[in-house]
Amino acid sequence: MVNKVRKMITILSAAAVVSTIAACANNTQTSDPTATASAMAPTESQSPEEVKVDPFGKYDPPIEITFVGSISDQFEKTTLTDGVTLEDNVWTKAFLEELGIKVKYKWIAKSPEEYKQKLNLSLASGDIPDVMTLDTAELQSAIKADIIQDVGGIIEQYGIDEVKQNYTTYNFDPYIAAKNDGKIYAVPQMWSVSDNASGILWIRQDWLEKVGMTPPKTMDDVYAISKAFTHNDPDGNNKNDTFGLAISKDYIQDLGGLFYGYNAYPGSWMEKDGQLVNGSILPETKGVLENLAAMYKDGQIDPEFYVKPADKIAQDIASQKHGMMYGFMWNGIYPLQDSRRDNPGADWRPYLIPAADGSVAKPKADSGIAGYYVVNKNFKHPEALVKMMNLLKTLGPKDPNKYSNSADGKELWKLSPVSVPTLEENLHYHKRMNELVKSGETPANAVEQSVFDKVKQWTDKKDETVWGFYRMLGNGGVGEIAQAAIEYYFDNDLWVYNAYRGAPTQTMSDKGSTLSTLESEAFVKIITGQKDIGEFDKFVTEWKKLGGDDITREVNDWYANAK
Amino acid sequence: MRTWTNKKYIFPVINGTILGILALTCLAPLVHIFAIAFSDNNEVVKGAVTLWPKSFTLSSFTFVLERQEFWQAFGVTLKRIAIGLPLNMLLTIITAYPLSKESLTFRPRTFYVWFMFFTMLFAGGLIPTYMLVRQLNMLDSIWALVLPGALQVYNVILLLNFFRQLPKEISEAAYMDGAGHWQTLWKIYVPTSMAALATLILFTVVGHWNAWFDGMIYMNMPEKYPLQTFLRTVITMPDFKYLKADDWKNLQSISDRTTRSAQIIIASVPILLVYPFLQKYFVKGIVLGSVKG
């Protein structure tokens, strides 16, 4: 019975949701004239002349703010225990006591995908919370539907320095996607650009020694290692069962670093002679595909890579089939840690990405924005959001064991509906670990102490469970610690950003999936040798014809405006 | 002589092989999940476990059985079946009975049947349905899981056709003996339709048991999720392509496949147990039908 309802619902949902956002949302607004009227001028009434700016001003009587939440199974297991809930915890108590803000949730989702679904329902039915987090595309629909308010300047006006600082750390304008008609409709949630940037080349040291090679300095070294790992039996079991380079069906992402080595950035928008161009169709990308085809032919790549999801490749890594992969700074924790369960000798080391010319590659940085906080048009205290951020930045560092991360692994900071991360926090701790070890000082605060203890647990006691953590941010240099490589990229200003920071354009939404299917089919055919490299030029023509040219034009229009 | 016997067996053999392969492809994933649930996680992570457990352990089961959220979700599902099943059956029976009568006896019958059939083809869609449930203040309550699907037209049509093939003479005899419609329905129709009703009970129970989507959209708080919605949040993989912020911290739990499999098994055992209990009614139903026909 319910089966049928579900089936209908699922079929209708995907397409219907986005397109109805605007219509329905407007509907609710007009049907409630009093609410609309009172919401007409929230920003004016908050101008600096009328309201005394107090970053920690307490609301009396207390106000209530509704949010929507997202938790994960992991978080539920570790942190939401002993009666702690999202609505009743140390942070909600602090918000109420210090700021007079009552935190309520309209709903809570248990996965990012579910969050999206529920959010779309909320937007479509016009039943939105006071404050919520949207992505770029959702932000654009919300602006168009006129359901959120101008929050321009509230960070600068109400924020304390520690909060403001987050918005000036990187040299790009974080508000760029939130601007519309001279107004700013969102407060970006800043995030470390290095966290999800593919900037590390992980190689098994024990395999390198076995085949008698040294860490790679150039692209040719990488190919030589890949070849040796495939044919020279690095695991010493006298079977030809190893591969040179671990890649899954998301090969573009897995191979990020290999592409960066040739200044190729498939899927990203890059500036070339003042114009934005898509990295997928550039000759640099073509060259990398050619090399990959040669590696595939030689058996250095899993012949079935294009059907294997990432977790399948993780299994292969755990069963000692791979010795080299491009990836993230956190890969030590997953999946590399898994390869040590069976074989503690699996000594993965993080290296800088070599470039074809023998220098260091320029890795692509993450967008640096995890989402956009938007405020319901009818909500009268948009500054409350910033006040909460201020409190987060004050209480968090003061008593981290109670408010940030407890010693027993509770992620307490996630109990707050708003978060202000410390940017490049992992890098900060890595630097501190180096300092502490060198100077012999004791850690300055409780968080530092717990990080230090964890690192020590590996360096002194060789506790396997913290190996991945140590490889991420422990003490040491490039080739030992992933963050050391990240530090190098920052010090030498090597990060490259996606030049397009706007929302998906019309043609991107319409044709995007067609184009990416076209791309992955063409690329896989080239890599696996079903088609020769000439196929690439055919793909480029096709790509342009099927909407690529339109997208390029839209993106460049945006770029001209943004400049 | 020999060729003749060969010909005779050729169909059953091919038929058996194809059906056997089909059955195996259905069974294999289940066995695989079983094997994983009873294995040591280290073996699973390596991908060494296929159809038989390696380094047998019950630790994942003890972990799951101690997990409060799991039992909470289990409770919600039991509650929804406890309310939903009687409600569904009652509504289906009392709707199917009048519609099984001839148009002469029950005039608007044709209209009602077409009206209901129409709803099978066209629905309001996700958002209107959601908004209706919200306006009726059913969000976050068990009723949102039970009421929107309380009357399944497909089931009604199934049952009304079954009612129609019961000999008219029986109900006429009951009428002569002074039975009204209610009495005829409950004393004559229902007892003689046990085979059809057992089928519908099975459909309904399985439907309620497996439903996850309504739990996800109508329940605002995860502690109110029914079992399958809960399971889904536990077993779905994050999309590696769109890792954001600190999503990577959750990846660690991917390696934890044994407990996930254990939860799947504990969640499917009760529903598997329903089948043998209802089996006898099916057999009887088939026999019953053939004699009458």
Would an 8 Å CB–CB cutoff place B270 in contact with chain A? no
B248: nearest CA partner in chain A? A330
Looking at the fold, whether A471 and A536 belong to one and the same domain comes out as: no
Looking at the fold, whether A344 and A377 belong to one and the same domain comes out as: no
Would an 8 Å CB–CB cutoff place B62 in contact with chain A? no
Return d(Cα A245, Cα A296) in angstroms, integer: 10
Q: How confident is the model over A96-131, as pLDDT tens digits?
A: 999 999 999 999 998 888 899 999 999 988 889 999
Q: How confident is the model over B215-252, as pLDDT tens digits?
A: 999 999 998 999 999 988 887 766 666 677 777 777 77
Classify burial at A106, counting beta carbons within 10 Å of its beta carbon; exposed 0-12, middle 13-18, buried 19 or more: middle
- Best of B40, B43, B45, B204 to disrupt the A interface by mutation (most A CBs within 10 Å)? B45
Q: How confident is the model over A470-481, as pLDDT tens digits?
A: 999 999 999 999
Answer whether residue A394 is part of any domain: yes
Answer whether residue A12 is part of any domain: no
Q: Number of helices (H) and strands (E) in chain A: give both, helices first.
A: 25, 12
With a CB cutoff of 8 Å and minimum separation 6, the contacts of B18 are: none
Looking at the fold, whether B21 and B154 belong to one and the same domain comes out as: no
Q: Buried b vs exposed e over B94-131: b needs ≥16 C-beta within 10 Å?
A: ebbbbbbbeeeeeeebeeebeebeeeeeebebbbbbbb
Looking at the fold, whether A474 and A540 belong to one and the same domain comes out as: no
- Sort strands A183-184 and A187-190 into parallel, antiparallel or unpaired: unpaired
Looking at the fold, whether B119 and B214 belong to one and the same domain comes out as: yes
Answer whether residue A460 is part of any domain: yes
Looking at the fold, whether B23 and B72 belong to one and the same domain comes out as: no
Tokens standing for A60? Answer: 């009396």
Better-predicted residue by pLDDT, B233 or B283: B233
Looking at the fold, whether B22 and B82 belong to one and the same domain comes out as: no
Classify burial at B3, counting beta carbons within 10 Å of its beta carbon; exposed 0-12, middle 13-18, buried 19 or more: exposed
Mean pLDDT over residues B69-80, rounded? 94
Better-predicted residue by pLDDT, A31 or A409: A409
Looking at the fold, whether B33 and B113 belong to one and the same domain comes out as: no
Answer whether residue B51 is part of any domain: no
Q: Per the structure, how many domains does chain A have?
A: 3
* H helix runs in B38-139, sequence order: 41-46, 59-65, 68-99, 109-121, 126-135
DSSP letters along A231-245, please?
A: HS-TT-SSS---BSS
Plot region of A233 (φ>0 → left; ψ -120 to 50 → alpha; else → beta) = left
DSSP letters along A75-142, please?
A: HHHHTS-TT--SSSSHHHHHIIIII-EEEEEEEEESSHHHHHHHHHHHHHHT---SEEEE-HHHHHHH
Looking at the fold, whether B139 and B278 belong to one and the same domain comes out as: yes
Dihedral sign, CA of A244, A248, A253, A254?
Answer: negative
Q: What is the CATH number of the domain that holds B183?
A: 1.10.3720.10
Would an 8 Å CB–CB cutoff place B132 in contact with chain A? no
Answer whether residue B181 is part of any domain: yes
Tokens standing for A17? Answer: 């949701």
Q: How confident is the model over A532-560, as pLDDT tens digits?
A: 999 999 999 999 999 999 999 999 999 99
The whole domain housing A438 covers: 425-491
Return d(Cα A112, Cα B243) in angstroms, integer: 10
Question: What number of C-beta contacts closer than 8 Å exist between A and B?
Answer: 166
Looking at the fold, whether B36 and B67 belong to one and the same domain comes out as: no
Answer whether residue B56 is part of any domain: no
Q: Per the structure, how many domains does chain B have?
A: 2
| Nearest CB neighbour to B240, from listed A5, A118, A310 | A310
Q: Buried b vs exposed e over A390-421: b needs ≥16 C-beta within 10 Å?
A: bbbbbbbeeebbebbbbeeebbbbbbbbbbbb
Looking at the fold, whether B40 and B141 belong to one and the same domain comes out as: no
Return d(Cα A177, Cα A173) in angstroms, integer: 9
Answer whether residue A236 is part of any domain: yes
Distance from CA of A158 to the nearest CA of B (A): 25
Tokens standing for A115? Answer: 């969050």
Locate the DSSP E strands across A284-419.
324-327, 348-351, 369-375
Looking at the fold, whether B127 and B257 belong to one and the same domain comes out as: yes
pLDDT of residue B47: 80
CB A406 within 8 A of CB A412: yes
pTM: 0.85
Would an 8 Å CB–CB cutoff place B91 in contact with chain A? no
Better-predicted residue by pLDDT, A522 or B293: A522
Cis amide leading into A61 (omega within 30): yes
* Residues 184-243 in B contacting A (C-alpha not used; CB under 8 Å): 203-204, 207-208, 210-214, 216-217, 220-222, 225, 233-234, 236-243
Looking at the fold, whether A396 and A301 belong to one and the same domain comes out as: no
Q: In one letter, which amino acid is A455?
A: V
Of A390, A382, A423, the C-alpha closest to A161 is A390
Distance from CA of B94 to the nearest CA of A (A): 17
Looking at the fold, whether B188 and B270 belong to one and the same domain comes out as: yes
Contact B149 A12 (CB under 8 A): no
Percent of chain B with pLDDT over 70: 91
Looking at the fold, whether B73 and B157 belong to one and the same domain comes out as: yes
ipTM of the complex: 0.82
Answer whether residue A2 is part of any domain: no
Answer whether residue B54 is part of any domain: no
With bands split at pLDDT 50, 70 and 90, how would you rate the model's confidence at A44?
very low
The whole domain housing B81 covers: 61-292
Answer whether residue B55 is part of any domain: no
Looking at the fold, whether A358 and A375 belong to one and the same domain comes out as: no
Return d(Cα B235, Cα B227) in angstroms, integer: 12
Looking at the fold, whether A140 and A209 belong to one and the same domain comes out as: no
Looking at the fold, whether A404 and A439 belong to one and the same domain comes out as: no
